[in-house]
Structure 1
Amino acid sequence: MNPSRTLRACALATALAAALVSLGAQARTPNDQLVIGVSMNNLLSLDPAGATGNDVVEIACNVYDYLVELDPLQTTTVKPGLAESWAIAPDGRRITFTLRQGAKFHSGNPVTAEDAAWSLQRVLKLNLALASPWKSYGFTAQNVVGLVRATDARTLVIDLPVATDPKMVLYTLGTSVSAVVLDRKTVLANEKNGDLGAAWLTTHAAGSGPFKLDEWRAKEVLFMSRFDGHWRGPAKLRRVVMRHMTESQSLRLMLGRGDIDIATGMSVPDIEAMKATPDTEVHSVNRGTLYYVAVSAKDPKFADKRVRAAVLRHLVDYDGINKTVMPYYGVYHQRPVPLGLPATLPEPGYKLDVAGARKLLAEAGYADGFKTTIRVVAESPFTNIATNLQATLAQAGIVASILPGTGNQVYGAMRERNFEIIVGRGGGGAEPHPHSSLRALVYNPDNSDQARLTNFQGWRTSFADPKVNQLIEGALLLTDPAKQTAAYQEVQRRFDSEVPAIQPISQMVDTVVMRKDVRDYVGHPSVTTRLRDVHKQR
């Protein structure tokens, strides 16, 4: 047996024994380890080119470095990462980054501008889900090599193929998993059949972040250990352990006993109970992601604007859902532009109105209702929203069967445009810019099945409005802040008038419950919550 592999296995076994204590004995996690209870149901891949969803982001931002980072308390503030400085050309069409000296990957290889260029080029060449934002900026597999390039070991030049707001590009570089910098030599050493290391990176990492990925066992556990050679200096914790846990009561029990340090995804009653205990505290942060109800405009029923209006505007109990289901998960919001941005319009005020829904359904030829299905991830709060929706749809004669599943099953059906109704969560939101969420939820420049714009929820719902697309594209190019804000408000008014196939119901609130001895944990609105400064005070 390989001696190094044996030592590694022993080390992991020791960590598991220390961190994953049995429920039958009182214990505290080790002082130099952080143990997090988290659902990994939607964690399907670690490859930065194709890994979607929030679950992978917090792993990526600790295992990899980004060129730039967004301040967690003021997200429009862009801070240095691997790039110590950058300059935007006067015409906004070129961004030049100067990388810091001395940064190394976990392999020991130096971090170079060539690695950064190759990492972005790889995203476009593989053309998986995370290529979508870059394609919206005009990059393609054919032009990216010429437009994203290293001019020397420390200088990275990004030429924008079409006019855009360079702030949006910086925000994407600071938030998207696709923007992490990969160790090119290590990835290519694990390439198979020209896949640019995709198969290997599904379960491995090749980064320069403050933590190294030791092992990931799907829907079981993920281990990260401190990288002592990080350019910022060693992280304060020696190890981070993420445990796959989906039962809120188990999270509550183990957090109360000190068997885990942080719990995510707990139910409202359990969070309330933990607030009252002396050893734990609750931390919440608003995120730009939106909970929504969506229908497929390809479906003959929902192709009718009146049916969409009946279901999405009159048969969703917005007030009831936000009061009873969404505390600690979300806050009432019905617009595609997140709260807190100047461009966000006041709420339209949609409310449960069964009589109004029945009138619209009768006009559309569905006076007796119809049968349909609701796809939903089998987790809170999604299932609770779906159950509530099922009941209100029934009041108008719509018989809806709930189809629970994993994130891959539910969003996979949506990506294939093979669904009727979905209760989901999405949108851009990571970048503090109206375009981020509008691009993700609304923009659909090519509604053909062949376009495969799978990371655009607008495309997934098969709803497209050329005027909306034109307004979004025009707003992005405006350099006057007041005019840009007004333009984004016009986008929302147009979107509202066309009765879209996706309707926000609540803006995401990310709530974690943690032991009070955990220090310097700062949740990030873009999900890029970094753990390098987290420690324990006991």
Structure 2
Amino acid sequence: VNKKFCVEHGDWPGTAETWKQYNNPPSGKEPLHSIACGTGPFKLERWEPGVEVVLTRNDNYWREPAKIEKAIIKYIDEWTTRKLMFLAGDADIVYVDRQYVKELEGVEGIRVYKDLPTLSQGSVFFNFKINPEGNPYIGSGKLDGNGIPPDFFSDKDVRLGFAYSFDYETYIKDAWLGEAIQPTGPVIKGLPYYNPEQKTYYYDLKEAEKHFKKAWNGQVWEKGFKFTILYNTGNIQRQTAANIFKDNVESLNPKFKIEIRPVEWAEYVRDITTGKLTMFIIGWLADFPDPHNFVYPYMHSRGTYAEWQGYRNPIVDELIRKGIETVDPVKRKRYYDQLQMIYYIDVPGIGLYQPLDRHYERDWVKGYYYNPIYPGQYFYSFSKGY
């Protein structure tokens, strides 16, 4: 972004004396948060957070002007409303939650692209050091059958018990209609150094029982536990995953009790970032197509998810440093192979799914093409007409 523009709108003036004052502002409070500056094919006409974004064509764009004059992005959570707008032609492109795809099968005038490979995955992360302060999700806060201690998941056998309790195949079939694969670790399919031969966990309740009986020197099996798993309201895939954990783990021992609770997205994120969640289900979408963009947030002690869950392994931090600093692809592969194996051995979390995507549009829309590293719509390429 142009420096002069930034300074004129209250951003860092570039002086050494003031960098601390401007460094790391709160989310949503950045000086340019609601101010647009760019040379793209569209101009920001209006932004109503949580409601809609209106873009108008930039006729002075350095390439040819876009074919469409205006693009309107509406945020509508309720599926029935989106569906009716789509069928009536009031929406050209619509997002369809996986559980509703059958409602549009065979509908005239709709074009759908299926099985689009993604560079994203959804995982469950175990919190090694739960924040107990005012925490309603850990019950008594003790291993007494009525709660769990803050370090409950620091015992590897607890984590292994959960890893073997999850029915991966059933989950992908039911929650994703079979349109997903089980990840082999942080380095997902489609990235350099993805290892399809990497060991993964599988559904085996006998193996899960064995580890739960060993956990915390037998106290887990003897005393039982009680805690809550959250998911963000409306996310059926995360709700389904949470219920699979609940049903299968509770089937092993009547003293094992898990409550599932929906919360709004803002509360979900707040409780993740403040360390209050026991285990959390969330996804990661590639910012750039390199394994570093996944192993760092998943495994580095300062990475997004690893830091939130309290996972630290000095060997991992060093391997990640070597992986990003090394140019030789043979050496890089060696580092990322090691990291994938360590993730399997340490089991700080488990990959649940790498989805295949879908794109729905009315048949008068022209110019769509799929780019797995670009999660939105590239309106510059679109036109409308038969």
The normalised TM-score by structure 1 is 0.60
Structure 2 counterpart of 1:184, one-letter code: C
Q: What is the Cα deviation at residue 465 of structure 1?
A: 0.9
1:523 corresponding residue in structure 2 = 370
Alpha-carbon separation, structure 2, partners of 1:487 and 1:200: 39
Q: CA deviation at 1:319?
A: 0.8
Shift of the 277–528 alpha-carbon distance from structure 1 to 2, 3 Å rule, reads: closer
Partner SS state of residue 325, structure 1 = helix
Query: Partner residue of 1:351?
Result: 202
What is the match of residue 102 of structure 2? 272
- CA–CA distance in 2 between the matches of 1:292 and 1:229? 44
Does the Cα contact within 8 Å between 2:316 and 2:339 map onto a contact in 1? yes
Shift in alpha-carbon separation, 1:330–1:241, aligned structure 2, 3 A: farther
Structure 1 match to 2:137: none
Amino acid across the alignment from 1:485: K
1:432 corresponding residue in structure 2: 289
Unaligned runs of 5+ in 2: 14-20, 130-149
1:399 paired with 2:257, answer: yes
Number of corresponding residues: 345
Q: Secondary structure of 1:409's partner?
A: helix
Which of 319, 325, 349 aligns to 2:175? It is 325
- State whether residues 255 and 262 of structure 1, in contact with CA within 8 Å, keep that contact through their aligned partners in structure 2: yes
Match of 1:228 among 59, 64, 83: 59
Match of 1:369 in 2: 224
For residue 301 of structure 1, what is the amino acid of its counterpart? F
Distance 1:315-1:262 versus aligned 2 partners, 3 A rule = same
Which residue type is aligned with residue 487 of structure 1?
Y
Indicate conservation of the 8 Å contact 2:6/2:32, yes or no: no
Matched, 1:292 2:123: yes
Is 1:188–2:10 an aligned residue pair? Answer: yes
1:411 to 244, 266, 269: 269
Deviation at 1:370, TM superposition (A): 1.1
More displaced 10-residue stretch of structure 1: 204-213 or 484-493: 204-213
Q: Which residue of 1 aligns with 2:134?
A: none
Task: Tell me the CA shift for residue 183 of structure 1.
Answer: 4.2
Cα distance change, pair 207–330 in 1 and its aligned pair in 2 (3 A): farther
Shift of 1:366: 0.8
Give 1:103-502 correspondences, 5 Å limit.
Answer: 115=1, 118=3, 183-184=5-6, 187-188=9-10, 198=29, 201-268=32-99, 270-284=100-114, 285-298=116-129, 299-311=150-162, 313-327=163-177, 330-346=180-196, 347-364=198-215, 365-367=219-221, 368-378=223-233, 379-397=235-253, 398-426=256-284, 429-445=286-302, 456-500=304-348, 502=349
Q: Would the aligned equivalents of 2:164 and 2:204 in 1 still touch at CA under 8 Å? A: yes
1:508 alignment counterpart: 355
The 1:293/1:329 distance shift into structure 2, 3 A limit, reads farther
**Residues 497-528 of structure 1, C-alpha deviation per residue, up to 9 Å, x if partnerless?**
1222x211111333221111111122321225
Q: Letter of the aligned partner of 1:335 in structure 2?
A: G
CA distance in 2, matches of 1:208, 1:410: 36
**1:50-77 deviation per Cα after TM superposition (whole angstroms, max 9, x unaligned):** xxxxxxxxxxxxxxxxxxxxxxxxxxxx
Q: Secondary structure at the match of 1:302?
A: helix
Q: CA deviation at 1:324?
A: 1.1
Residue 405 of structure 1: CA displacement? 2.2
Is 1:536 the counterpart of 2:384? The answer is: yes
Counterpart contact for 2:126–2:159, Cα < 8 Å? yes
Listed one character per residue, the Cα deviations across residues 408-441 of structure 1 (whole Å, up to 9, x for unaligned) are 2212221122210111112x52311111111121
CA distance in 2 between counterparts of 1:436 and 1:334 reads 16
8 Å Cα contact 1:262-1:514 kept in structure 2? yes
Instruction: Note if contact 2:242-2:260 (Cα within 8 Å) is conserved in structure 1.
Output: yes
Q: Aligned AA for 1:408?
A: A
Q: Could you tell me how far 1:274 is from its partner in structure 2?
A: 1.8
Q: C-alpha offsets along residues 238-260 of structure 1, whole Å, 9 cap, x if unaligned? A: 11111112223332232122121
1:464-515 alpha-carbon deviations (Å, 9 max, x no partner): 1111111121122222212211221111112211222x21111133322111
**In the alignment, is the contact (CA less than 8 A) between 1:372 and 1:421 conserved in 2?**
no
- Structure 1 residues 282, 223: closer, same or farther in 2, change over 3 A? same
Distance 2:65 2:261 in 1: 46
Paired with 2:316 and 2:332, the residues of 1 have a C-alpha distance of 15
In the alignment, the residues of structure 1 paired with residue 273 and residue 199 of structure 2 have an alpha-carbon distance, to the nearest angstrom, of: 28
Q: Percent identity?
A: 22
TM-score when scaled to structure 2?
0.81
CA contact 1:471–1:491 (8 Å) conserved in 2: yes
The C-alpha deviation readout for 1:94-123, integer Å capped at 9, x for no partner, is xxxxxxxxxxxxxxxxxxxxx45x4xxxxx
Cα gap change, 1:353 to 1:504, in 2 (>3 Å) = same
Shift of 1:342: 4.1
Deviates more, 1:339-348 or 1:300-309: 339-348
Q: 1: distance between equivalents of 2:9 and 2:380?
A: 24
Q: Is the 8 A contact 2:326 2:332 kept in 1?
A: yes
Alpha-carbon separation, structure 1, partners of 2:50 and 2:376: 21
Deviation, structure 1 residue 185: 5.4
Q: Can you list the C-alpha shifts for 1:22-43, whole angstroms capped at 9, x where unaligned?
A: xxxxxxxxxxxxxxxxxxxxxx
**Pair 1:265–1:348, CA change in 2 (3 A):** farther
Q: Indicate the SS of the match to 2:355.
A: strand
